[in-house]
Each structure stands twice: as C-alpha cells, then as structure tokens.
Amino acid sequence: MKTANLAIVFTDIKGFTERTSRQTLEENQRLLQVHEALLAPLFKAFGGRIIKSIGDAFLVTFESPTQAVLSGIAIQDRLWHHNRELLEDDQIHVRVAVNVGEVRVEANDIFGEPVNIAARVEGIAEADEVFFTEAVYLAMNKAEVPSQEVGAFELKGIPGKIRVFRVPRAPYRVLAPTPDAVLPSPEEAAALPPYGNLALARVTDSSMDLGALGQRAAEGAAAVGQRAAASAVAVGQR
C-alpha cells in the first residue's frame, strides 16, 4: 500500500446543478470547457496534479499546502477578471477548499479521511472564497498566505470539530480601516480583484497570462458553439 502526505484541493461551481437544469447539453458542455480552461493551467502553475474532475468539481493534490492555497487564491482572482466582462448568468463562481494529510494512493486516485474532510469543508465554503483547515494553517507558510479563522465546525462523518480558516480579502477591502487610511473610491475598489493578484502575479509563464487564459477559454467556448450550430443545422435539414 502506497501512502503520501499531500495537500488536497476540492473546487466546484456555485449553483451548478440549478444552472444545468436551465441549459442545453451544448451550453453545459461549453460552461465546463471554459471552467477547465480557466482553472487547470493555474493548478499546474502551482505544482498541482489533477486527480480527477467530475462534472463541475476538481480534485487536485499538491506537495505543498502553501502552493495549494495560493492556487486557490489565483483562481479566484482569475475568475474575477473573467467575470467582470460577462453578464451575471454567464459568470463562473467557484468554492475552493484545502486540507492536508496522509492519504492512500491507488493508481490515479486518492483515499482517506483527509480527502473526506476536504470535501466536507468545500460543502461549507462560500463562492469566491478559499477555505482551509487548521492542518493547512499549521503547515503552510503564513508569511505568504494571509488567513482569518472562520470557526470550528462539526462535519458529517468526521469525529470532533474541525477548525476552518479562510483567505481574507486584500487590504483595500478592510471594513474598519485605521483613521489615517486612504480608502479607494467605489469605482477604484470595483476595479481591484478581491485578493489583489497576490498569487496570480506569481504566474510568470507567458502561456499562463490573463490574455492567454482568456483566449483559451474563448476558443473552447467557440468550438462548442460551432458544433452546436452545426448540429442544429443538421437536425433542421432532416
């Protein structure tokens, strides 16, 4: 039996099930392709290994808990850049949850309580947020990742309570600034990503820049759209 101590990341799209009920198969496929085009390169940029994707969910492992959390931060800022150009119904909002622990590795899958805990934390995480467990908090480099405790939770099937933390929004989002702080105007604040590009700025590979990622997502969406249009024409000609 092979085991490994890994950081485990779960992500999923907010409201995906309800959204699926309103979409055609082609529209749903396009959504998932855009979603993958945006997230997968960032997982890999921070050293992540995609174990599997099921519908709108990703299960990814990292050797470093710090890199795991940073990947989640980068994803949230990347999606902010993506969403600001779209109508609300076309936007993608995800939840990110991170845990760390010893897992059993079999073929291309992982098993064990750390995986179950990560999945449960994802269930309580909020959209556009990065949640992580106390185990991650204790193991990560706190100089690189800001944190804020959310609370202790009883998670289904997990004994005892699990302390959960989140990555707070960048300093310009602070609700109680110091008296001498200069706050940005509402227009300036709206133009800033929620995590200040803290992690996204570390992605130096030119193939991973915002333009390249956006282009890949657009190309994926266009390809599915073209196939859907061709299919519709074929049906109409029958």
User: What structural domains and CATH numbers belong to the chain?
Assistant: 2-170+188-232 (3.30.70.1230)
Confidence of residue 195 (pLDDT cuts 50, 70, 90): very high
3-state secondary structure of 180: coil
Asked if the model's pLDDT at residue 180 lies above 70, the reply is no
Alpha helix positions (H), 125-162: 134-139
Q: Which residue has the tokens 């820049």?
A: 209
User: Quick check: 96 and 212 in contact, CB under 8 A?
Assistant: no
CB of 14 within 8 A of CB of 83? no
Handedness of CA 163, 62, 141, 175 (dihedral sign): negative
What gap in Å lies between CA 127 and CA 207, rounded to an integer?
A: 27
Structure tokens at 96: 């990110």
The pLDDT value recorded for residue 189 is: 61
**pLDDT higher than 50, residue 145:** yes
Residue 208 confidence (pLDDT) above 70: no
Reply yes or no on whether the pLDDT at 207 is more than 50.
Answer: no
pLDDT at 63 over 90: yes
The reported pLDDT for the residue numbered 235 is 40
Whole-angstrom distance, CA of residue 82 vs CA of residue 144: 25
Q: In the predicted model, is pLDDT for residue 160 greater than 70? A: yes
CA distances from 149 to 29, 165, 191 (A): 36, 4, 27
- Torsion region of 197: left, alpha or beta (phi above 0 gives left; psi -120 to 50 gives alpha): left
pLDDT band at 85 (very low <50, low <70, confident <90, very high): confident
pLDDT of residue 132: 98
- d(C-alpha 161, C-alpha 154), whole Å: 5
